């Protein structure tokens, strides 16, 4: 089975802090994704990566950046956390280079609270 792990289940940070969310997948998948999930809005794509050191902006990239130095690891960075970034963050991966229309496998999520 594909396993996608996220470094923290719950995280509490203060406004202005730099926040790192880590995601690791163990199935040699090409593509990795970061979403945020908010009630009534479903999942919205923040960034995705289709190869090491490659990244593409999703629908809501403002206030975020990403890093993919190794194939299995994809990090989401909040440069200066704000209260409106309080949310559930979900990482996902998919196998091949056809892009995100392939089946995506999700991690358990990180619930981030910014005070």
Partner 1 sequence: AQSVTQPDIHITVSEGASLELRCNYSYGATPYLFWYVQSPGQGLQLLLKYFSGDTLVQGIKGFEAEFKRSQSSFNLRKPSVHWSDAAEYFCAVGMFSGGYNKLIFGAGTRLAVHP
Interacting residues toward partner 1 by CB under 8 A: 4, 9, 40-45, 48, 56, 58-59, 90, 92, 98-109
Work out how close the CB of 103 gets to partner 1 at its nearest, in angstroms, rounded to a whole number.
6
Q: What angle do CA 58, 12, 61 make, to 5 degrees?
A: 10
Work out how close the CB of 68 gets to partner 1 at its nearest, in angstroms, rounded to a whole number.
16
Work out how close the CB of 16 gets to partner 1 at its nearest, in angstroms, rounded to a whole number.
28
CB 19 within 8 A of CB 10: no
Alpha-carbon distance of 102 to 55, in angstroms, equals: 17
């Amino acid at each position: 089975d594909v396993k996608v792990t996220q470094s923290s289940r719950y995280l509490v940070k203060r406004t202005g802090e730099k926040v790192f969310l880590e995601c690791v997948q163990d199935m040699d998948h090409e593509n990795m994704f970061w979403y945020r999930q908010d009630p009534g809005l479903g999942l919205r794509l923040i960034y995705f990566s289709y190869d090491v050191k490659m990244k593409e902006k999703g629908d809501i990239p403002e206030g975020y950046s990403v890093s993919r130095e190794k194939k299995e690891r994809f990090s989401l960075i909040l440069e200066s956390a704000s209260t409106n970034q309080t949310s559930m963050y979900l990482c996902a991966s998919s196998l091949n280079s056809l892009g995100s229309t392939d089946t995506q496998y999700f991690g358990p999520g990180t619930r981030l609270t910014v005070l």
